Structure 1
Amino acid sequence: MSTTTSQTPEPERLTHPHRLIRNEATTEIPVHLLFRDDPDPVSVPLAPAIVGRRRGTGEQPRVRQGLSGPVRPRPVPQVDPELVERPARVLPGVAGVLGGACGVAGCVLTSWWAGVLPETARVASGLPASVGAGLGPAQWAAYAGAGALGLFGFGGLTRGRTGGAWVLGLFGRYRGTVRRTGLMWVNPLSRRRRVDVRLRHWRSEPMQAVDTNGVALRIVVLVAWRVKDTARAVLGVEDHEQYLRECVEAALSRVVSRLPADVSPSALVKDATLRNTEAVGESLTRLVAADTAPVGLEVFSAQPTRIEYAPEVAAVMQRRRIAALDAQHRDTVLASVVDSVEDTVTRLTMRGLVELDDYERKALVKDLTVAFCTGRREGSP
């Protein structure tokens, strides 16, 4: 008796397909995100991305966001807005002379009163005989008052010169600027700083710079300037002359880095080089004037007087320049010869002087080219 055994088929096992990439990684995406209906979509600005991938590793591309954002303007130097030049209060020099003379006269009278004035001085001054009261508290007080008056009178005398100014400060505070000339009286307790307000020029030493092609240069700049606001020039910056030099060097570096020192013969724009000193001077003057105006300096011109290659690259750039000129000369000669040959062959054929086939035309062109090139070579210096 045979028994039939029914075998129930086993359910098929769900198997994932084999990964094509061993380090493959997948992420589940929620279904509601695929069919999301947002009434107010939010727009996200996309920055330029740079995709990087390692070869031979099977690694997924990595996205690196580039540097994006608005370019911030260069900050402008700021000085205390309340620090502005204003005239100082001074007196004519006669007032100081009178005050000093009164102090000296007071000392002489006090000495006569105390009886310590020499006899010759008493006779010379025309004073009567002294009563000889002696040096007491009253006499010492009179000496102190007269001496202080004499010191203040003569100690405050000063002389103003044309083209110069005095910046006055009292106990750390700015008290004004004196631009007057001649003899005058200034408070002797105030601190005086002399400033040259004449038109001045400064010729720099050869400063190092690099053009837009990375060629090292040495440039000499001539700057014409003057002090416009003495308060800001003296009190707003530590050393206004050194500040001017640093501003010129920084502006020169910015201007030179935008242009090449020389232009190649095939360039379209011939004037966009550092050899156009007028344009370079205008840009340099504008930048230096903008940087030095907040500290009370007025720059009239900043002109490059000499632009040369650095010693380490001068010989190489000279050979490069000569080679470029030689190539340009050869191109010019070749173009002239070709035009001459073409004109000669065209005239001969159009006037019917010769009838040439292709072979004869090529031979004639070759002979004329050789003849013209030889003649120009012999005629050239």
Structure 2
Amino acid sequence: MSTTTSHTPESESEGPVETAPRPGRLIHNEATTEIPVHLLFRDDPDPVSVPLKPAVVARRQGTGEQPRLRRPLPVKARPAPQVDPDLVERPAPVLPGVAGVLAGTGGMAAGLATSWWAGVLPRLAVQALGLPAYAGAGLGPAQWAAYAGAGALGVAGFGGLSRGRTGRAWVLGLFGRYRGTVRRTGLLWVNPLLLRRRVDVRLRHWRSEPMPAADGNGVAVRAVVLVVWRVRDTARATLGVEEHETYLRECVEAALARVPVELPGGTRGAVESAGDALTRLVAADAAPVGLEVFSVRPVRVEYAPEVAAAMHRRRIAALDARQRATMLTSVVDSVEDTVTRLTMRGLVELDDYERKVLVRDLTVAFCSGRTETAP
């Protein structure tokens, strides 16, 4: 039996070949030390996933440093305005005006009867009222107590009479405590000891004075806005904020600082979106204090005085450049049409030089004519 032995090329070479140890592959960088390649692709047996939203920091020029990642700063939500949750509008206890009239009349009648009882009522008044003649018991403690009760009844009856109007409401309070709101109309009787604050609950519109704002490019402008609103909760509008009209004005001014306002002549979509954004912001800030905002629309927008002259010159230059571009396009089209017609109809035969001369002369002639006829 014969055996075959395989020889490799290394076994056929003369003498043993010593191989030097291979150095690890390294990455050399101008700003970093030597990093072995195998460390970059090392398998992590227990990776820990950390949810990050990377924010790239620009690399430094000339260092070869790779972009670094950093954790973005948390964005704090803007706190919403809040008032006392127990402060909610509720109807106040009131009586029809007839009750006050009857109480006041009863107080007057009780006073006359006390005067007759005391004998201080004049004889002519006694005869006019048809009362029997009575010498009178004089003014004693009982008569004075009767006078006090009759006066209190009359004052309470006539003093509590009020007239409710459509679109107006009363916010009632007693010793600093909210007692209710009166929205009823007609003759009413309200406790005269209650403090009354009249509130206008009609649909109201307010045209502001020019307020500072900015357009889409950050240029300072002055905007006049029209705000349509009404008081929805009288308790919160009166007691939850110091001055609800001043508060609404400041909310509008704050919204104008956040929403870009376009000048007249801009795109309709931009103007509508600006109005919708203003309405949304102001309504969200005014709702907690009992105000209902229906719309906030810019009615007049103009540049601020400090930039008005420069922006006016810029707009004039832009309009002039646009007009010149339009005129040049029209002239080029006219020259092209003229040369094409002359050539296709065989009226002239032009080489390249003559064509260039003709185009130049026609262009100068058309531009001169357009300039003279331009307003």
TM-score category, normalised to shorter length:
0.7 to 0.9
3-state DSSP of counterpart to 1:255: coil
Deviates more, 1:212-221 or 1:34-43: 34-43
Question: Structure 1 residue 208 and structure 2 residue 212: aligned?
Answer: yes
Of 309, 320, 326, 2:303 maps to 309
| Cα 1:149/1:220, change in 2 over 3 Å | same
Question: Structure 1 residue 80 and structure 2 residue 87: aligned?
Answer: no
Question: Structure 1 residue 342 and structure 2 residue 330: aligned?
Answer: no
Question: Structure 1 residue 293 and structure 2 residue 287: aligned?
Answer: yes
Match in the other structure for 2:317 = 323
Match in the other structure for 1:105 = 109
| Cα 1:33/1:286, change in 2 over 3 Å | closer
Question: Structure 1 residue 373 and structure 2 residue 367: aligned?
Answer: yes
Task: Give, in angstroms, the shift of residue 156 of structure 1.
Answer: 0.8
Task: Give, in angstroms, the shift of residue 260 of structure 1.
Answer: 5.1
In the aligned structure 1, how far is the partner of 2:150 from the partner of 2:268?
Answer: 74
In the aligned structure 1, how far is the partner of 2:32 from the partner of 2:326?
Answer: 65
Match in the other structure for 2:162 = 158
Task: Give, in angstroms, the shift of residue 299 of structure 1.
Answer: 2.7
Letter in 1 for 2:87: L
Of 211, 231, 234, 2:235 maps to 231
In the aligned structure 1, how far is the partner of 2:102 from the partner of 2:80?
Answer: 50
3-state DSSP of counterpart to 1:221: strand
In the aligned structure 2, how far is the partner of 1:54 from the partner of 1:154?
Answer: 88
Match in the other structure for 1:48 = 55
Alignment of 1:1-381 (within 5 A): 37-43=44-50, 45=52, 47-50=54-57, 65=70, 67-69=72-74, 71-256=75-260, 261=263, 271=267, 277-381=271-375
Task: Give, in angstroms, the shift of residue 285 of structure 1.
Answer: 2.9
In the aligned structure 1, how far is the partner of 2:291 from the partner of 2:308?
Answer: 36
Task: Give, in angstroms, the shift of residue 204 of structure 1.
Answer: 1.3
Letter in 2 for 1:237: V
| Cα 1:68/1:178, change in 2 over 3 Å | same
In the aligned structure 2, how far is the partner of 1:345 from the partner of 1:26?
Answer: 71
Q: Deviations over 1:121-142 (max 9, x none)?
A: 4343333344543443333332
In the aligned structure 1, how far is the partner of 2:47 from the partner of 2:366?
Answer: 79
| Cα 1:291/1:182, change in 2 over 3 Å | same
Structure 2 gaps of 5+ residues are: 1-29
In the aligned structure 2, how far is the partner of 1:326 from the partner of 1:206?
Answer: 30
| Cα 1:161/1:326, change in 2 over 3 Å | same
Q: Do the aligned partners of 1:213 and 1:260 also contact (CA within 8 Å) in 2?
A: no
Task: Give, in angstroms, the shift of residue 144 of structure 1.
Answer: 2.6
Question: What RMSD over aligned residues (CA atoms) do the two structures have, in Å?
Answer: 3.6
Deviates more, 1:359-368 or 1:152-161: 359-368
Task: Give, in angstroms, the shift of residue 65 of structure 1.
Answer: 4.2
In the aligned structure 1, how far is the partner of 2:272 from the partner of 2:55?
Answer: 40
Match in the other structure for 1:9 = none
Q: Deviations over 1:88-117 (max 9, x none)?
A: 221111111111121222222223333343
Q: Deviations over 1:304-331 (max 9, x none)?
A: 2221112222222111111111111111
Deviates more, 1:216-225 or 1:180-189: 216-225
In the aligned structure 2, how far is the partner of 1:379 from the partner of 1:33?
Answer: 75
3-state DSSP of counterpart to 1:364: helix
In the aligned structure 2, how far is the partner of 1:41 from the partner of 1:199?
Answer: 60
Q: Do the aligned partners of 2:223 and 2:300 also contact (CA within 8 Å) in 1?
A: yes
Q: Give % identity.
A: 68
Match in the other structure for 2:10 = none
In the aligned structure 1, how far is the partner of 2:42 from the partner of 2:281?
Answer: 57
Letter in 2 for 1:316: A
Q: Deviations over 1:4-23 (max 9, x none)?
A: xxxxxxxxxxxxxxxxx9xx
In the aligned structure 1, how far is the partner of 2:71 from the partner of 2:44?
Answer: 31
Q: Do the aligned partners of 2:111 and 2:147 also contact (CA within 8 Å) in 1?
A: yes
3-state DSSP of counterpart to 2:282: helix
Q: TM-score, normalised by structure 1?
A: 0.77
Q: Deviations over 1:58-101 (max 9, x none)?
A: 9x9997947433x4554433333433333222111111111112
In the aligned structure 1, how far is the partner of 2:363 from the partner of 2:94?
Answer: 90
Task: Give, in angstroms, the shift of residue 224 of structure 1.
Answer: 2.5
In the aligned structure 2, how far is the partner of 1:281 from the partner of 1:49?
Answer: 36
Match in the other structure for 1:7 = none
Q: TM-score, normalised by structure 2?
A: 0.78
| Cα 1:236/1:337, change in 2 over 3 Å | same
